[in-house]
């Protein structure tokens, strides 16, 4: 009888001590299952995260980044300027898919981009610091009409309107190009400069 009493007492201590631990473990396991699902459902892979994922898949220098629905389109130039990859980064999961890779690029075409002190990611941060919102587009713009090259950055504000900035590739200073009504997905190709 004493033996049963000791076993019962020991079991009670284990259950009392283990109960909260088991409940906490179950709660954290449940939270672990729901957080990634919620994150994926929101589709909140940022421009910065899309750049990081693209560069991990294809190392080099980002030439452009553009959000199109649930996909980030990222163009990367290798550091020697001879390779170019067109990548897609899923905005919900961060998964990268190579769409096109070219290893026969003329490196002289990318000389200014490769020499820029400010990266695409830094240009995006500078634009957001000047005008709060989310980076939607970052493009290297090396005009043929005599203007110095710059980063063109499109920021979408919480109100849905876009703000276009020029970011100096040496200093990182962002200046406004124009305000637009937010119904374009980067129709600034060739118009702003």
With contact defined as beta carbons under 8 Å apart, do 152 and 165 qualify? yes
**Residue 4 confidence (pLDDT) above 90:** no
58 confidence band (pLDDT: 50, 70, 90): very high
On whether the CB atoms of residues 193 and 181 are closer than 8 A, the answer is no
Q: Which pLDDT tens digit goes with each residue over 114-145?
A: 999 999 999 999 999 999 999 999 999 987 67
Tokens of 133: 């919102």
Phi, psi at 36, each rounded to 5° = -60, -35
pLDDT tens-digit map of 157-175: 999 899 999 999 999 999 9
Q: Who's near 166: CB < 8 A, 6+ residues apart?
A: 150, 151, 152, 153, 174, 175, 177, 192
Q: pTM here? A: 0.70
Please write the tens of the pLDDT for every residue from 14-43.
334 444 433 333 333 333 333 333 333 356
Instruction: Calculate mean pLDDT across residues 98-105.
Output: 94
Give the per-residue pLDDT at 23: 37
- Measured between alpha carbons, how far is 114 from 1 in angstroms, rounded to an integer? 83
The Cα-based distances of 52 to 49, 72, 86, 94, 165 in angstroms read 5, 12, 15, 10, 22
Could you read off the pLDDT of 82-91 as tens digits, one per residue?
999 999 999 9
């Amino acid at each position: 009888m004493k033996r049963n009493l000791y076993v019962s007492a020991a079991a009670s201590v284990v259950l009392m001590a283990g109960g909260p631990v088991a409940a906490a473990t179950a709660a954290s396991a449940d939270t672990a299952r729901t957080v990634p699902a919620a994150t994926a459902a929101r589709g909140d892979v940022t421009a910065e995260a899309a750049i990081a994922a693209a560069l991990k898949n294809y190392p080099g220098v980002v030439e452009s980044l553009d959000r199109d629905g649930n996909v980030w389109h990222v163009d990367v130039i290798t550091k020697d300027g001879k390779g170019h990859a067109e990548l897609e980064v899923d905005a919900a999961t961060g998964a990268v898919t190579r769409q096109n890779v070219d290893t026969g690029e003329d490196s002289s075409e990318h000389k200014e981009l490769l020499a820029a002190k400010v990266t695409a990611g830094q240009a995006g941060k500078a634009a957001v610091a000047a005008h709060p919102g989310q980076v939607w587009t970052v493009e290297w713009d090396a005009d043929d009409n005599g203007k110095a090259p710059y980063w063109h950055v499109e920021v979408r504000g919480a109100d849905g309107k876009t703000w276009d900035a020029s970011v100096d590739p040496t200093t990182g200073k962002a200046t406004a190009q124009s305000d637009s009504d937010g119904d374009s997905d980067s129709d600034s190709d060739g118009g702003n400069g």
